Amino acid sequence: MHKVTVIGLGAMGAAIAAVLVEQNYQVTVWNRTPSRADSLIRRGAVLASSAASAVAASPITIICLADYGVSTSILNQESVKSALAGRVLIQLSTGSPQQARDLEAWTTRLGAAYLDGAIVASPPQMGSAGATIFVSGSMSTWRQSESLLQKLAGNVSYHGEQVSAAASTDLAFLAYLFGSYLGFFHAARILETDELSVEAFGAMIAQVSPVIGEVMKYQGTVIQNNAYSQPLSSLQMSMTSIELLTLQARESGINNEFPRFAENLFHKALHAGYGSEEVAALVKVLRQE
């Protein structure tokens, strides 16, 4: 049986451990509250008496906690540092690109290998085809850990040896996600003012999501190649839509913070002379200090 350790048994950590138990791994677990391991022990996992003994039990340790700060408080114990030497540490806690760089450097000094990862899934989705994990770090460590990580998610994408890449990709995804949330929630208020169904609108967005994805793919190509001069949708044209959002908010008396925020950015782009360029030229404003 392949051996793996999971440190942290919150909702996500417990889901990770459960998937690996189901996949016939010999799973050692540790959590600051030992009772959280009870259901996993009944299914075949082994509860370690300490974080250090958990790390020592397996060649690979996955740590999944609330954030890097909590992770570091556990990993920085002298007994844990000694146990890490010669082993692989996979960090699946949420963190920043700089935290990933710092933890890789710290792990390397201990003589251990390191991969940084970011999960794009809810705990019940772990082990499913729809779950995604972004991974970055040493190529040799990735090859050693690839089959293990592929048990956890149907889509495990390796982003290269630049260890910060997974965290940056995750934050980029979150920026897109939460920007979409804000737009959708403002859309809900527009629909409510005209007594229209928000639920039906959500279903419609699900139907057109492949088209939206193609639009984002195109805008990504425009930005990557700095090719703004032949727009499919110019900044000036898009500004008309933003102004309509502001007008509707004023007419209906709903919160206008979202369209005002967008309008401010578009005005900056127009004043900079980007009006005839592709709407993606808005990124030039975001690059300015």
Q: Are 228 and 277 in contact (CB under 8 A)?
A: yes
Domains of the chain: 3-160 (3.40.50.720), 197-286 (1.10.1040.10)
Q: Are 48 and 76 in contact (CB under 8 A)?
A: no
Q: How far apart are CA 20 and CA 24, in angstroms?
A: 6
Of all residues in the chain, the percent with pLDDT exceeding 90 is 97
3-state helix, strand, coil in the chain (%, to 5): 60, 15, 25
Q: Which amino acid is it at 126?
A: M
Q: Two tokens at 41?
A: 């022990």
Q: Are 28 and 57 in contact (CB under 8 A)?
A: yes
Residue 289: pLDDT over 90? no
Residue 245: pLDDT over 80? yes
DSSP bridge partners of 30: 7
In sequence order, what are the residues at sequence separation of 6 or more whose Cβ sits closer than 8 angstroms to the Cβ of residue 232?
218, 278
Residue 22 pLDDT: 97
* pLDDT level of residue 66 (50, 70, 90 thresholds): confident
Of all residues in the chain, the percent with pLDDT exceeding 70 is 99
Burial class (CB in 10 A: 0-12, 13-18, 19+), 281: buried
Q: Are 76 and 104 in contact (CB under 8 A)?
A: no
Average pLDDT over residues 71-92: 96
Average pLDDT over residues 36-58: 97
Q: Two tokens at 63?
A: 């740590």
Residue 193: pLDDT over 90? yes
